[in-house]
């Protein structure tokens, strides 16, 4: 996140959830090994090249950490409007205003 998307490492949080294998399938192959990484970023803070580079690097990291991972491992970037999320009681939009 910090390297490819220019995010502050100290403000980056990570949650790993592992569903039971019976709850995750790829097509009809219920025993296939896969993963999904879902990342939220503030809308408009990264360009298409940065997002593409991040997705490629994140997929490589998943493959390195999870040997035998199926190619159908997803990396999803969700762009959230700045006024729709924040931390410490302040939206990202309000933080931008404070910096101008």
Q: What is the pTM of this model?
A: 0.80
Instruction: Output the CA angle 18-68-48, nearest 5 degrees.
Output: 75
pLDDT of residue 70: 81
Question: What does the alpha-carbon distance between residue 16 and residue 63 come to, in Å, rounded to a whole number?
Answer: 16
Q: Which segment of 25-34, 49-58, 83-92 scores lowest on mean pLDDT?
A: 25-34
Token pair of 7, please?
Answer: 């995010």
For the chain, what is the largest distance between any 2 Cα atoms, rounded to a whole number of angstroms? 53
> Using 50, 70 and 90 to split pLDDT, how confident is the model at 72?
confident
Task: Give every CB contact of residue 61 below 8 A, 6+ residues apart in sequence.
Answer: none
CA 45 to chain centre: 14
């Amino acid at each position: 996140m910090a390297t490819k998307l220019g995010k502050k490492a100290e403000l980056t949080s990570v949650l790993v959830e592992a569903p039971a294998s019976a709850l995750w399938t790829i097509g009809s192959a219920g025993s296939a090994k896969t993963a999904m990484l879902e990342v939220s970023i503030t809308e408009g803070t990264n360009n298409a090249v940065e997002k593409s580079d991040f997705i490629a690097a994140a997929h490589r990291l998943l493959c390195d950490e999870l040997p035998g991972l199926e190619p159908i491992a997803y990396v999803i970037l969700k762009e959230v409007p700045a006024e729709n999320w924040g931390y410490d009681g302040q939206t990202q939009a309000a933080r931008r205003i404070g910096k101008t």
